[in-house]
Chains A and B, each alone.
Chain A
C-alpha cells in the first residue's frame, strides 16, 4: 500500500510540474491520466520496492550527491585522455564482485559504474559484474568497494 501512495504522490507532483496550469479542465484531465497510470501499473503487478523506492529517497539523495562528486572527478581524467596530444590509455576488462543483494541495489551499482566516465558495466551475472575500464589503474581490485558499499546502503539499508 505504501508503494501505491508513493507512486501516487510522485505522479501528481510530476504531472503538476510538467503542466503548471490551474484550469479545471486541465486538472481533471491530469487526474484521469494519473488514475489510469495507477490502474495500469496495478494490473501489470509492477508496483513493488524496485519500481517505487520512494521510501528510501533521503538515502538515494545522499548517495547521488556523493556519486556526482565522483563523476566530476572521473570526468576530468577522461577529458584529459581525450585532448592529450598522444594517445595514452590502458584499457582493461575486469570482474567485480558485489555485496548487493536485491535487484534494485545491483542496478544502482551497475548504473553508477556506467555513469562514471572511464568505466562501463558490460554484463551482470549473479553477484559478478564485468567492467570495462579506460585505465587499468581505475579498476584495480577494491577500486569499486566504496561505491558498492554505498549503493547497497542506499538501496537496501544497513550496508554490508
Chain B
C-alpha cells in the first residue's frame, strides 16, 4: 500500500513539478504586469513583491519536485530561506532610499474613472 503510494508519487512528481514551475512563471508575469501598470514608484514596489514571494516559492517548489536527489532539495530549500531573508531587506533599502531622497508617494483612491491626484503629505 505504502510502496504503491510512493510509486504513484514518483510517477506524478515530474508533472506536478512542471505544473508548479508553470504557476510560478504565471505569477512572475502577473507581478511584471503590475510593475508596468501601477502609477508610481511605491505602488510598483508592491507588485514586484509578488515575484519575490509567491512566484519564487512556486518556482522553487516545482524545482524541488523535479530534483534528482535529497541534496538538491536541501539546496533549493536553502535558496528559499535566503531569498525570504534578503528580499525584504533589499525592498526596504530601495523604499528607504526613495523616502530619504524626498520622493512623495501618490495617496488616495486611484482609478475607477476619475483620477484623484491628491499629493501625499508626510504622515
Contact = CB atoms under 8 A, between A and B. Distances in A.
B12 interface: no
Interface of B: 27, 30-31, 33-34, 37-40, 42-43, 45-47, 49-50, 52-54, 71, 74-75, 78, 84-85, 87-89, 91-92, 95-96, 98-100, 105-112, 120, 122-123
Chain A interface size, under 10 / 10 to 19 / 20 to 34 / 35 or more? 35 or more
21 contacts: A78-B47, A82-B30, A82-B34, A82-B50, A83-B33, A87-B37, A89-B38, A89-B109, A90-B108, A91-B43, A93-B122, A115-B52, A115-B53, A115-B88, A117-B49, A117-B53, A120-B42, A121-B92, A122-B96, A130-B123, A132-B42
Interface string A116-131: 1111111100000010
A90 B31 CA distance: 18
A89 B43 contact: yes
Given A18-B78, A122-B96, A82 B33 contact: yes
Contacts, number: 125
Given A17-B71, A111-B92, A120-B91, A90 B110 contact: yes
A81 interface: yes
Contacts of B31: 82
B95 A120 contact: yes
Residues of A contacting B: mostly? mixed
Given A111-B89, A114-B92, A82 B105 contact: no
A46 interface: no
